[in-house]
Structures are given as structure tokens and as C-alpha cells.
Amino acid sequence: MIDPQDLANRLPGDFVLGTATAALQIEGAADQRGRCGWDDFADQPGRIVDGTTPAVTTDHFHRVEEDLELMRAAGLDGYRFSLSWPRIQPDGSGRVDEAGLDFYDRLVDRLLELDIRPMATLYHWDTPLPLEAQGGWKVRSTAERFGEYAALVGQRLGDRVADWVTINEAATVVMNGYGLGVHSPGEEQLCRAGSVARNMLLGHGHAARALRSVPVRGRIGITNAHTPVTAETDSKKDRAMAGLLDFVHNRLFADPVLLGRSPELPKGLPLPTQVLLKAVSRMSRKDLDLVSQPLDFYGLNYYFPSLVAAGADPDGMSPDGESEAAKDLPFRLLDWPDIPQTGFGWPIAPDGLRRIAEEMAARYGRRLPAVVITEGGASFPDEPSADGSIDDEERISYLARHLDVAADLATGAVPGFDLEGYYVWTLLDNWEWAAGFTQRFGVVHVDVETQERTPKASYRWLTRLQAARR
């Protein structure tokens, strides 16, 4: 077990250690915001494993002071939260709900009072329902609406938010939401993947430009989830499919944003796959200029590495659930032999983080700005013991081992990859999208019946680590 004191000695003094959350996963108070695509999705029978909805979740909207106190008491340096677009702009355009904006205004003020660095994500998957009804990210106009929303939020919070993330994990939205249908809006249209990705890239571009022109005082970045990809065998087919997954997760968004050019399709892809990615592989110069404005930091979410083989899973299993469309994918993901897994079945492999750092430094060189790990964490079936305590040793080990690699990356282990911080996913056991409350990622347990918060052993470990750093 890694000693918190040892880790504390190795993390630079200005390294930001915080927790990350997303509005729809914790806020609740659905009666005080507009509806979003996920509200409709969750209302459809069978979509969410345990039948729960985002209506109440952890009721953070009403318990924000209690949750801030948890952060303060742990001595956390930063807090990454997302702004609920439908709480601020219920129709996704035009009218602003001032009460919604007030909530975030107060949140930012309180964070600053507590000396916790505020990082605000503009879009963490809660597309306002009226926009979703008009085509969501399938249509270019959503990108423009997103830019307008970014501008109005920037005007209100731009003097105090330290870091802005435009979009969180666009690849997950493209694949799970529009391609495989296991997330909102539940569409199984893999053929749309290229145009949805292009529109989300444009959304990022419009938002970054809007924030710059306000101008906001904080730094601007984007967050993508990256996974190092390994082919099961050295066969041509397996290698081509590893290239495809690498393209989707590691380059589809990062290449246009950081290099200002369309990502090059890997060699050996079957023709239908090339066709469906056409929209993004042939973006116009004007679009690429919008998308590739210089960023102040790059947000990296790292959870696990991927092992890939050619050929669809005959049962239609995608990593995030069953999907008819997954039977049309030209690849499937495999379990890693001999690597322990989280509750979600994700392999626990801190070395994958080092590999991603090496790959990114090699590919982007000087175009890679400072990096912040905007999410990392693990779900485990934590159950309170008889005395009410929750001893989540596996999560402590997960965090310690990943922070150990982070400490190396923050001190020059991979030249060109300058790591500035790590945000633990997540503070509270939250509503884990299609998994509802069946996957618990929090360092604080939440009883969803009573809303009682119980810090787990991992929360106390983080507290000790932060105390040791001071």
C-alpha cells in the first residue's frame, strides 16, 4: 500500500488534487430546471438498469453547503462541476432562467471563499430537450446554440471561474448516445457518427471562441476520455481495429483540436467504416480553424486501457450495455487476462495512464498544452458494515496507484507532458447514467432513500494525503 506521506512528498506543491462531478448526476431538483434528453431517456422502460431517473439523484442542489463542507474538510484543492444547460437555458436558446444561473454564481463564490479552485464544465451530456427534439448534436445549429450559451454563462461567471471545460467526453456521446443507443438520446445510428462528431467539435469551437471574446479570466480547455489500445493479436485485422478504436477515443477529437487538421483514418479499415467517418475526416479549413483555437490546458479522463479484436460481439454487447447496433461494429472489446477489475468490469491499470502520456507527448509535441486529469476513479460495490463504516480499500489502492503515476507525470517523467492536477471521479456516489445507482464511484457514500452522506475510508485517505501535503 502506498503511504500518503510518501505520495505527498512526491506531488508538487501546486498540483491540484480535487474531485469532479456532473450536474445531472448529482443535482436533482428537476422541477427547477428544463428537461433534457436524459430525462426522456430515463423515462423509457428498460433504459436505466435500476429504473431510476435524474429527477432527485443526490439532491446536491439543496444540499450544496453540506457537500462543500465535505470538500473543505478534506482539504481538497479543486472542484470540477458542470453547469446544467437546461437549468440555465431551459429551451436551449433564448430565455435565461436567472435562478438557475444564481445557483452556480453562489457555488463559485462559496468555492472561492473556501479556497477551492472552481473548474466549470459547460456540457456534461444534458442537452436541453427542445434542442434534442430538433436533432441534438446531429445538426450543426446545436453547435451555434452551444456557443451562445457559453457566452452568457461566461459573462456571468467569467470573472471568477479558474478553469473552463467546454465539452466532456464527446466520443462517449457520439458512440453511446447516437451510435449504439445505450445513452441518451438512445439512437442506434452508427452511420451518423462522423457528422455528430463534427458538430460537437464545432460546438467546442464556438464555445471556446465565445469564452475568449467575453473575455473570461480563467483558462479554457476541453476534456476527452483516452484509452491506450492494444490489438489482441498481431493480425492485420486486429491491428486495423485497434487503430479504429484508437482513432475514436484518442484522435477523433484531440487531433482537430490540437493539430488543426482532420484526424487521419487508420489504414486497413473496411469501406463502410471509412464512409461513416467521412464528415469528420474531411472538415473544411474554416471549421478546423474554429475548432483549433489555442487552449490553455487539455482535460484528460483516464479510466482503463482497451484490448480489441476484429469482429463484432455476437451478443451485441458494447462496453456500456447491450445494443443491437453493437452487432454492426467491426470490433469488440475483450477482457484483459489477469488484470483485476472494478465493479464496472474495467481493468485496473495505472500504467495505461503513463502510456497515454507517452503517446500524447509523441503525437502532439509542443501543440500539447498543460494537461489536467479531469477524471479518474473506480466503482466498487461498497456496502456499509454493521457499524455504518465503509471500508473501500480497493478504491484507496486504485487512487494511490494512479496518483503515484500522476506524481511521476507531474515531475517530468514524460517530457512534453506537463501534468498539473488530478480530479477524482467522484465526490458522491452519483447517478451513473444507464447504470443508475448500481455503480458507486464516490469517496462519500450516499443513501439514496435518506440522502445521508457517509464518508468512506477513501475520503479519509484523501484527507490524510492533503493534510500531509500541507
Active-site residue list: 169, 375
Handedness of CA 228, 233, 239, 241 (dihedral sign): negative
Instruction: State which residue, 68 or 434, has the beta carbon closest to ligand IFM.
Output: 434
Taking the least distance from each CB to ligand IFM, the nearer of 25 and 281 is 25
Under the binding rule (CB under 6 A), the answer on residue 26 touching ligand IFM is: no
**CA distance to 72, 309, 446, per residue, from 195 (Å):** 43, 26, 39
Among 16, 22, 201, 399, binds ligand IFM (CB under 6 A): 22
β 16-20/331-334 pair status: unpaired
13 to 20, 298, 405, 415: CA distances (angstroms) = 20, 20, 16, 19
Q: Choose which of 425, 427, 446, 459 interacts with ligand IFM (CB under 6 A).
A: 425
Give the nearest distance from C-beta 170 to ligand IFM in angstroms: 11
132 binds ligand IFM (CB under 6 A): no
Q: Which three cell numbers stand for residue 368?
A: 500539447
Q: Quick one: which of 323, 432, 434, 456 contacts ligand IFM (CB under 6 A)?
A: 432
Q: How far is CA 254 from CA 109, 182, 204, 264, in A?
A: 32, 24, 12, 12
Concatenating the DSSP letter of every residue in 203-253 gives HHHHHHHHHHHTT-SSEEEEEEEE--EEESSSSHHHHHHHHHHHIIIIITT
> Which of helix, strand or coil describes residue 459?
helix
Q: In angstroms, what CA-CA distances link 71 with 19, 134, 228, 456, 467? A: 8, 39, 31, 13, 13
Question: Which residue's CB comes closest to ligand IFM?
Answer: 22
- Please give the Cα distance from 207 to 198 (Å, whole number): 14
Q: Given the complex with ligand IFM, which of 199 and 426 has the nearer CB atom?
A: 426
Q: Measured from the CB atom, is 158 or 442 closer to ligand IFM?
A: 442
375 binds ligand IFM (CB under 6 A): yes
Task: Closer to ligand IFM by CB, 118 or 343: give it.
Answer: 343
SS3 37: helix
Is residue 226 within 8 A of residue 292, CB to CB? The reply is: no
Give the residue among 69, 85, 106 at the shortest CA–CA distance from 148: 85
Query: Whole-number minimum distance, CB 301 to ligand IFM, in Å?
Result: 5
Q: Kindly report the backbone phi and psi dihedral angles of residue 331, in degrees, each rounded to the nearest multiple of 5, phi listed first.
A: -145, 165
**Residue 301 interacting with ligand IFM (CB under 6 A):** yes
Site size toward ligand IFM (CB under 6 A) is 8
- State the number of CA atoms in the 13 A half-sphere of 464 facing the CB: 14
Find the distance separating the first CA and the last CA of the chain, reported in whole Å: 21
Query: Cell numbers 427542445 label which residue?
Result: 130
Given 169, 238, 287, 359, the residue binding ligand IFM (CB under 6 A): 169
In the complex, the smallest distance separating the C-beta of residue 426 from ligand IFM, rounded to whole angstroms, is 7
Q: Cite the beta strand spans of 345-465 per DSSP E.
A: 370-376, 419-425, 444-446, 453-455
Task: Give whichever of 158 and 343 is closer to ligand IFM, judged by the CB atom.
Answer: 343
**Choice between 423 and 461, CB closer to ligand IFM:** 423
Regarding 250 and contact with ligand IFM (CB under 6 A), the answer is: no
| Vertex 401: Cα angle to 400 and 407 (nearest 5) | 85
C-beta of residue 212 within 8 angstroms of C-beta of residue 223:
no
| Cell matching residue 441 | 464511484
Q: Is 77 in the site for ligand IFM (CB under 6 A)?
A: no
Q: Are 208 and 295 in contact (CB under 8 A)?
A: yes
Name the residue nearer to ligand IFM (CB basis): 57 or 273. Answer: 57
Nearer to ligand IFM, 123 or 146 (CB): 123
Residues in touch with ligand IFM (CB under 6 A):
22, 25, 169, 301, 375, 425, 432, 441
